[in-house]
Amino acid sequence: MADTVQYSLLGWIPLLPLIGAILNALFGRMMPKKVVHTIACGAMLVAFAFSVVSVLKLAGGGVSDHGHTTYAPLVHRYFTWFAAGSLDVQASLWLDPLSAVMILIITGVGSLIHIYSIGYMSEDPSYARYFTYLNFFVFAMLMLVLGDSMLVLFLGWEGVGVASYLLIGFWYEDEAKAAAGKKAFITNRVGDFAVVLGMFLLFQMAGTLAIPEVREWASMLSMEQHHAMGGMLTLITILFFIGCTGKSAQIPLYVWLPDAMAGPTPVSALIHAATMVTAGIYLIARMNFLFALAPTTMMIIAIVGALTAFFAATIGITQFDIKKVLAYSTVSQLGFMFLAVGAGSFFAGVFHLMTHAFFKALLFLGSGSVIHGMHHEQDIRKMGGLKKYMPITRWTFLLGCLAIAGVPFFSGFFSKDEILWYALSNHSALGGLHLGWILWGLTVLTAGMTSFYMFRLYFLTFEGECRADDETKSHIHESPWTMTVPLMVLALLSVAGGFIGIPHILGEPLGLPNLLHDWLHQVIAPGEALFTHKVGEGMAWPAMAVAVAVGLGGIALAYVKYGRGHDPTGDLEKAGKGYLFVHNKYLVDELYEATIGRGIRVAGQVSYQLIDRVLIDLLMVRMWGYTAKLGGEVLRQFQNGNAQRYAIYTLFGIAAVLFYFLT
């Protein structure tokens, strides 16, 4: 492990958004809106500047080693959090190449979303509260990716859960929006409990929760030790993965993410692109050295990722809410990332995380621009022809669609093709079946569906004739510069961002290095070293050609169906039962409600009757009252004011005493 470098500037990166949140929480109501957003956006921009400086400091300390560069991590220690026995937890930050990528995404894209929010939320009466929550969200995510131990990471992990609850349910006066916030919070608690159990078991085995020390412990395991504790390693990694399915919305805990659209659109962009949903991918990539020792877990991750990608894409095809389409797209794209890390390519997962942050933030902010221009209309059946009214939004949204569809040389093409290649190269087998071809076929089909539903969304929103009513048409307008400038910056990143991770098969003939893979090598090498990915170089180009052809075919199909003036107004009414079943999200929410939800309510009623009413209310409270009352009734028979009866009691008492002593 490379020597660490103490670097105090690192400590300010998460503190600045926290300070912004505190200032707006305490004084925001008393300050003009201009001061509120200046504090919030200023904190983010300075944090981004400090992040850039810190990453340059990290890069400047690189030392070449066997063809790869090793970077000495930057460390900042705040204080000793607590010490108990052999557990010594420092509140410390750790910046290495992986966390460097994450903080640039979080603070960079986060800053653009904050600036965008100035225009989008300008008329909201809870302006200061909004920016308070937004700053706090970024603080929590930065603690998650910079924490040098599992406990500091988990502090940020729980922090983004709380912040997401506050932001998704931001308009809590609306019962449905408040319920969406609670749904996100409760669903994530299921996964978070699994992470806690995983940390307990990890500490029992490794004797530490400091990530560098756990990595060193894992690297020292002998083959015999690995075999002896293989079952425990599988259990720990599965528990961590369950937590990841909650934060990163995978089957079966994905159900909260589509409902998270209840929050303001910039919140959707922040949650779905740069922060919360990437936490699961980050955790697996960070602990790659542990996951790679549990091949069963890796196979489960790959299968769940591929199934989630396909499942969510089918739902996305049938939605008419502009934000719901993008929500299911996010679930699907996260499935691609999980497939990548499950197939052993932690680099491909992080690479797609990065490119996805660019084009998905662009698409969500573009949808917010449309909603803002359409006076909060979200149904794409009531849109159409918006390219005449919103040219900047239209062109930037189109570039985002091209990127997510994997059109050659856009950012999504490079990262998605990398994932498809590693899926094909996967050597796992299940019941005698070679999973590589199955996973590849499923994800290529999913990629085609992605192209189809994204261009369905584009054509129904921006092309053809406007289907809005005359009143809405008269007010449609392009968004202000605070919203369009972030769109243009993200569009540029969506177009060119993939070139820093250009795959070997494409980069080598052109003499272009894979800069991102080289940058991440020291972090991901321990995990990737345990996997071999070879199907044969001759298969690489045909596989890429098939993926590109399927993606372009999805765009062509969307154009034929929706790009030539199609009116979707009556599509749902004309649809068959199968289409309606998928449109209703396979009734998964209803299934959960009928089984888990009802089961929890019944268990709650039984617990209420047995524990609250019987154990606590009756046995522990009322019993003492009944006992005192009964005792009083008995004693009253002896203390009734009748002197003759007292005399008789006295004689009986004297007689009993004499009998005892005389016999």
Express each pLDDT in 276-286 by its tens digit: 888 999 999 99
Please tell me the predicted confidence (pLDDT) of residue 433.
Answer: 61
Please tell me the predicted confidence (pLDDT) of residue 344.
Answer: 86
The owner of tokens 């009691």 is 649
Specify the higher pLDDT residue, 7 or 472.
Answer: 7
Residue 37: pLDDT above 90? yes
Please tell me the predicted confidence (pLDDT) of residue 473.
Answer: 85
DSSP string of 526-580?
Answer: HHHTT----S-HHHHHHHHHHHHHHHHHHHHHHHHHHSSS---TTHHHH--HHHH
The secondary element (H helix, E strand) that includes residue 64 is: strand 62-65
Specify the higher pLDDT residue, 379 or 65.
Answer: 379
Q: How far apart are CA 207 and CA 213, in angstroms?
A: 9
| Neighbouring-strand partners of residue 210 | 149
Residue 19: pLDDT above 90? yes
Please tell me the predicted confidence (pLDDT) of residue 618.
Answer: 73
How confident is the model over 315-319, as a mean pLDDT?
Answer: 94
How confident is the model over 352-376, as a mean pLDDT?
Answer: 92
How confident is the model over 378-395, as a mean pLDDT?
Answer: 92
Residue 366: pLDDT above 60? yes
Residue 394: pLDDT above 90? yes
Residue 493: pLDDT above 90? yes
- Strand bridging mode 68-71 / 429-430: unpaired
Residue 293 structure tokens:
């020792």
Angle of the 175-206 helix axis to the 150-168 helix axis, nearest 10: 170
Q: pLDDT grade, residue 599 (50/70/90)?
A: confident
Please tell me the predicted confidence (pLDDT) of residue 597.
Answer: 82
pLDDT tens profile 212-222: 999 999 888 88
> To the nearest whole percent, how much of the chain has pLDDT over 70?
96
Instruction: Answer whether 168's CB lies under 8 Å from 181's CB.
Output: yes
How confident is the model over 193-221, as a mean pLDDT?
Answer: 92
Please tell me the predicted confidence (pLDDT) of residue 57.
Answer: 94
Residue 558: pLDDT above 60? yes
Please tell me the predicted confidence (pLDDT) of residue 73.
Answer: 93
Q: How far apart are CA 561 and CA 582, in angstroms?
A: 19
How confident is the model over 212-241, as a mean pLDDT?
Answer: 88
Q: How far apart are CA 50 and CA 56, in angstroms?
A: 10
Q: Which of 207, 204, 227 is nearest to 217 (CA)?
A: 207
Residue 506 structure tokens:
């494409």
Please tell me the predicted confidence (pLDDT) of residue 504.
Answer: 78
Instruction: Give the 3-state secondary structure of residue 275.
Output: coil
Reported in sequence order, the residue ranges of 66-148 that DSSP labels E, i.e. its strands, are 68-71, 74-84, 87-95
Q: Which of 396, 583, 590 is nearest to 479 (CA)?
A: 396
How confident is the model over 426-454, as a mean pLDDT?
Answer: 81
Please tell me the predicted confidence (pLDDT) of residue 117.
Answer: 93
Instruction: Answer whether 325's CB lies under 8 Å from 319's CB.
Output: yes
Burial (CB count within 10 angstroms: exposed 0-12, middle 13-18, buried 19+), residue 516 = buried
The owner of tokens 């003759």 is 644
Q: Which of 566, 571, 593 is nearest to 582 (CA)?
A: 571
Please tell me the predicted confidence (pLDDT) of residue 219.
Answer: 86
User: Can you count the helices (H) and strands (E) in the chain?
Assistant: 30, 7
Instruction: Answer whether 346's CB lies under 8 Å from 288's CB.
Output: yes
pTM here is 0.90
Distances (CA, A) of 95 to 183, 501, 651: 33, 20, 91
How confident is the model over 554-576, as a mean pLDDT?
Answer: 89
Q: How far apart are CA 363 and CA 453, in angstroms?
A: 13
pLDDT tens profile 514-526: 899 899 999 998 8
Distances (CA, A) of 339 to 307, 421, 635: 9, 11, 77
Please tell me the predicted confidence (pLDDT) of residue 197.
Answer: 96
pLDDT tens profile 120-155: 998 889 999 999 999 999 999 999 999 999 999 999
Please tell me the predicted confidence (pLDDT) of residue 532.
Answer: 59
Please tell me the predicted confidence (pLDDT) of residue 432.
Answer: 52
Specify the higher pLDDT residue, 590 or 84.
Answer: 590
Average pLDDT in the chain: 89
Per 3-state DSSP, the chain is made up of helix, strand and coil in percentages (nearest 5) of: 75, 5, 20
Residue 536: pLDDT above 70? no
> To the nearest whole percent, how much of the chain has pLDDT over 90?
57
Please tell me the predicted confidence (pLDDT) of residue 200.
Answer: 94
Please tell me the predicted confidence (pLDDT) of residue 64.
Answer: 78
How confident is the model over 536-545, as a mean pLDDT?
Answer: 75
